[in-house]
Amino acid sequence: MTQAEQNPVFQLRGSMLAVTVLELEHNDLERLDWQLAAKVERAPQFFSNTPLVLALDRLPPESSELNLAALMQLCRKHGLCPLGLRATHPAHLEAAYRLNLPILPGMGAQPKTRPLPPSDESSAPKPAPPLEPVYKPARIINQPIRGGQQVYTQGDLIVLAPVSPGAELLADGNIHVYAPLRGRALAGIKGNTSAQIFCKQLAAEMLSIAGCYKVAEDLRRHPLWGEATQISLEGDTLNLRPL
């Protein structure tokens, strides 16, 4: 093996993730639908692609016939993105397996392993083909983003006007600011460590990539403060380079 082949291409890191859990108490999707709708009305900010764990382990035992696919669809409809399932009922575990949905450990319980795939291939429904990565066009913003405003996008975010102190940019992908960046910029917020931030003039209150951050207090002392800068994540520290 050459040296290059031995260089690791990845690292595994443990991390604590604070995530909302939706604990289902009744198998009543219709009621869930309108109750979620009411919540969204009150807090629309919260319900925009919010990652979520679905907990089915509090459902009464007779709820085995729960339609998991419909439940997932309902969550997505209201802006919630289920990351995985907390469940104990074998019927739920099997449904999760068919939908390729990870099973997460319950409250204080051991992680549940997946049930064995059904042995009779012909009787089991075919697992859905793996999802093709979907192309998410960048969101482009031409107006200044002012203090108190927050912009989130699932793909890349491109801003062509100043970002004020007190404004917040959030993206699952990269963030480009072709103007002074005076607010906060959080790239790769769903954990994408290869996300980067580019700005024409670094004056940010905070920069963050996949949860690793630097605040203005540290940034101010950097020689690139006020300059065109590219920010990437190396290990678990932010690396600043001139653009």
Q: Which residues bind other proteins (CB under 8 A)?
A: 143-149, 161-162, 164-167, 180, 182
Query: Which DSSP symbol is given to 145?
Result: B
- Contact between 243 and 224 (Cβ < 8 Å): no
Q: Whose Cβ is closer to other proteins: residue 115's or residue 148's? A: 148
HSE at residue 65, side-chain half, CA atoms within 13 A, is 2
> Taking the complex as a whole, how short is the minimal distance between the CB of residue 154 and other proteins, in angstroms?
21
> Taking the complex as a whole, how short is the minimal distance between the CB of residue 145 and other proteins, in angstroms?
8
Say which amino acid occupies 24.
L
> Taking the complex as a whole, how short is the minimal distance between the CB of residue 162 and other proteins, in angstroms?
5
Q: Whose Cβ is closer to other proteins: residue 156's or residue 168's? A: 168
Q: Hey, which residues does 150 pair with through a beta bridge?
A: 168
Q: Which two tokens stand for residue 12?
A: 């595994």
Q: Whose Cβ is closer to other proteins: residue 146's or residue 222's? A: 146
Q: Whose Cβ is closer to other proteins: residue 84's or residue 144's? A: 144
C-alpha 87/C-alpha 94 separation (Å) is 10
> Taking the complex as a whole, how short is the minimal distance between the CB of residue 158 and other proteins, in angstroms?
17
Q: Whose Cβ is closer to other proteins: residue 82's or residue 180's? A: 180
HSE at residue 197, side-chain half, CA atoms within 13 A, is 33
User: What radius of gyration do the chain's Cα atoms show?
Assistant: 22
> Taking the complex as a whole, how short is the minimal distance between the CB of residue 166 and other proteins, in angstroms?
7
